[in-house]
Structure 1
Amino acid sequence: MRRKAIGWIVLIFMIVLATACSSSPQAPETGSTAGAQKGEQATGEPADQKQAAQKESVFPRQVESAGGKITIQKQPQKVALASWQLVEMVLPFDQPSVGVTLPFSAANSVLESEQLKPYVGKFKEFKIVGEGTQVNLEALLSYGPDLIIAGSKTNQSIKEQLEKVAQTVWIDEEAINMRTEWLRVVGMIGNVLGQEKRAEEVIAKFTETQKAGKQKLAAKQGESVLFVQVREKAVYVMQPSTLPAYYDGLGLTFPKMSENMPANGQLTLEGLSVINPDHLVLGYFNYTNKSLPALTDEWEKSEVWKSLKAVKQNQVYAINGELAMGLGPIGQQYGLETLIKAMGK
């Protein structure tokens, strides 16, 4: 009897032990609430990073397009830009292949500049499908994109032809000012490519540069700053409305302008002497090829030029105008950094 009693006791103990083990807490599964509270998945990757990566890789996806949303079935591999205004806005992204339309001829473009060349070189395939703002439909067809990004006004005349080549996402140029709101376009392209995180990084870097620059140049606020485009036979004033990244972003002051300033913004040396800004930013369009002439080359030899306040105070700054006064995060990032460094001395 004693042996039987001991046997029953052992059996009951084993049953209780098994029940306790089966009811103990289990390790959280990947993506569980417990894992998320610790800020990590079971893989050890931060939860927010993994969720962002999963979001970016989700296709099909709906994206904004002029006239309504469209659905992109697969993550695009070969992307063509029909609008010349979009070149810089696609360069920061990690795409295997792009085709671009250039604002000028390829020979005179800034693709070979030290600022853009590293971006161009990272693509496995980089094709030019248009020059002088015009799309070359034959080159575009030969390139064979699986997606086209175009401007609703810029490319309106070839809308049907583009949509026959490949699915086309239209940037609504009626709703978006491409010159002043290109940061929005960077975000849209990031969404189209499934690379929202990269777009956020580009935008954050730009806005942080502005914020830091505004603080550094706080002592210069109130001093007049004039930006001009320098061409071979003409110099043009850049209005604050066309360069908000500098005037608004850095808190710069536009000079009081003469009532006799031509409507097209073209500036003479005499007109410049009337404005007489504290700081003068010369945006050269021959910056990468100094053998090409610029109108200010002649101005600099005159006594009128030498009498300018900015010249006498050594506050004339030469920059690549195609980049710094163009459209996009690379050129204007370069412009911000160059100007902050020059003016902040």
Structure 2
Amino acid sequence: MGKYWKLGAVALLSLAIATGCNSNSDTKKSNDTKVSESSASADKESTTKQITYLGKEYTVPAKTDNIIAASLESMEDAAVLGVKPTGVVSIAGNDMPEYLKDDFDGATVVGNKFEPNAEAMLKLEPDVILASDKMDAKKLAKYDKVATTFPYTFVAEKWRENLQLLGQLTGKENQADKVISDYETKVAELKDKAVKELKDKKVMIIRVRGTMMAYGPSLYLNPVLYDDLGLEVPKEIADAKTQMELSYETLSKINPDVIFLQFDESENTKTPKALDEVLKNDIFKSVNAAKNDKVFVNSISPSAQGGTAWSKTRFLDAISKDLLK
């Protein structure tokens, strides 16, 4: 009886040890799985990063060296920061915009500014795409399948956010902040002078696109005049939310003292003589700006987008040179 009891005890003890080993093994496997899952999660986090732009969060690769600037606004910002996109867009046709050509030597043109080609972008294997928020949601969704796509805004008042986004993507945050700071410093230096020398003067930007076009105070280059330098907004354009056709009658009513006249050949392929027709028009010649030789044609590149650091800085320089000598 004692013999059998001892054998039974040994058997139970062996079973307990075996069960314990299996339990430890299962626990180890479970722990290993958790460690693997945690490691995989950490690896994923280390290969991506989160960027917030205009209130929305985007997931992008940790390194975003391969950028496609699929909008003229992002191209201008890239030129300011010395960023070399692998892909860029044209204004028309397949040629790189002339005014930015020297900045993007070697970049591939992936289509025009209205509709970059998704297949051409895919071949470049980009990390991110900076498209234009002028594009519709369907186009942006298509580009987002190629790489995370930011709807880079054309809104002039958001130029700082645009530049800071590109700075984050390229590790040039400090440089972006300096460009912004330098611009604001120059504005502060010129503002008092502008208000004194241009007091009671009406200053306008007119863009020739077949006919004369004017813009509301928050559009194109106008924020430089009316927000940054504090000049008076002509009441005839004060409520405009988009570009508006400017008739000669309205121009005569405004009677501007200074006109910055922008004419881009690529926007006037069907009306190549439009600029000459404006300058020779009797009503145009009768306004103060024309009579006093204060009409400045293409003070900056007529292709400039207006609401970027590139455009604003150059326009401010032109104002300083032409008006605030």
TM-score with structure 2 setting the length = 0.72
Any gaps of 5 or more consecutive residues in structure 1? 1-57
* Aligned counterpart in structure 2 of residue 273 of structure 1, from 252, 276, 301: 252
**CA distance 1:147–1:306, change in 2 (3 Å):** closer
**Pairwise mapping of residues 329-344 of structure 1 onto structure 2 (< 5 A)?**
329-344=309-324
What is the alpha-carbon distance in structure 2 between the residues aligned to residue 91 and residue 197 of structure 1? 16
Q: Indicate conservation of the 8 Å contact 2:67/2:127, yes or no.
A: yes
Aligned residues: 274
Contact 1:78 1:97 in 2 (8 A): yes
Q: 2:109 aligns with which of 122, 128, 142?
A: 128
- CA distance in 2 between counterparts of 1:339 and 1:218 reads 13
Is 1:202 the counterpart of 2:186? The answer is no
Establish whether residue 293 from structure 1 lines up as the match of residue 279 from structure 2: no
Q: Residues 15-64 of structure 1, C-alpha deviation per residue, up to 9 Å, x if partnerless?
A: xxxxxxxxxxxxxxxxxxxxxxxxxxxxxxxxxxxxxxxxxxx9854311
Amino acid at match of 2:57: K
Seen in structure 2, the aligned counterparts of structure 1 residues 255 and 300 have a Cα distance that, compared at 3 Å, is: same
Secondary structure of the residue that 2:80 maps to in structure 1? coil
CA contact (8 A) 2:206 2:213 kept: yes
The SS at the match of 1:204 is helix
Does 1:69 pair with 2:57?
yes
Partner of 1:3 in structure 2? none
Instruction: Report the equivalent of 2:201.
Output: 223
Tell me, in whole angstroms, the C-alpha distance in 2 between the residues paired with 1:120 and 1:161: 25
Residue 309 of structure 1 aligns to which amino acid in structure 2?
A: N
1:307 Cα deviation (Å)? 2.0
**After the TM superposition, which of the residue ranges 155-164 and 220-229 deviates more from structure 2?**
155-164
Residue-by-residue CA offset, 1:128-165 (whole Å, 9 max, x unaligned): 21204212012111222122234567352134432332
Q: CA deviation at 1:321?
A: 5.9
Matched residue, 2:103 = 119
TM-score for the superposition, normalised by structure 1: 0.68
1:134-283 residue pairs with structure 2 within 5 A?
134-151=115-132, 154=135, 156-166=137-147, 168-171=148-151, 178-219=155-196, 220-231=198-209, 233-242=210-219, 243-257=222-236, 265-283=244-262
- State the Cα RMSD in Å: 3.4
Aligned equivalent of 1:28: none
Q: Which amino acid aligns with 1:157?
A: K
Question: For 1:216 and 1:128, how far apart are their aligned partners in 2?
Answer: 43
Distance 1:308 1:235 in 2: 15
Distance 2:152 2:264 in 1: 29
Separation in 2, partners of 1:209, 1:141:
41
Which SS does the other structure have where 1:165 is aligned? coil
Against the structure 1 CA distance between its residues 266 and 307, is the aligned structure 2 distance closer, same or farther, given a 3 Å change threshold?
same
State how far apart, in whole Å, the 2-side matches of 1:150 and 1:313 are.
42
Contact 2:206 2:260 in 1 (8 A): yes
| Helix, strand or coil at the partner of 1:235 | strand
What secondary structure, in the 3-state scheme, does the structure 2 residue paired with 1:326 have? coil
- The worse-fitting range, judged by mean Cα deviation, of 184-193 and 250-259 is 250-259
After superposition, where does 1:72-91 map in structure 2 within 5 Å?
72-91=60-79
Show CA shifts across 1:107-140 (max 9, x none).
Answer: 4x6x322xx344334xxx4122120421201211
In 1, Cα distance between equivalents of 2:113 and 2:131: 15
Given that residues 72 and 305 in structure 2 are in contact (C-alpha distance below 8 angstroms), is that contact kept between their aligned partners in structure 1?
no
User: Matches of 2:205 and 2:189 in 1, distance apart?
Assistant: 21
Unaligned runs of at least 5 residues, structure 2: 1-45
Report if aligned partners of 1:324, 1:333 keep a CA contact under 8 Å in 2: no
What's the counterpart of residue 16 of structure 2?
Answer: none
Q: 1:151 to 1:289 in 2, by over 3 A?
A: closer
CA offsets 1:202-236 (integer angstroms, 9 cap, x no match): 212222232222133232132111111112x2110
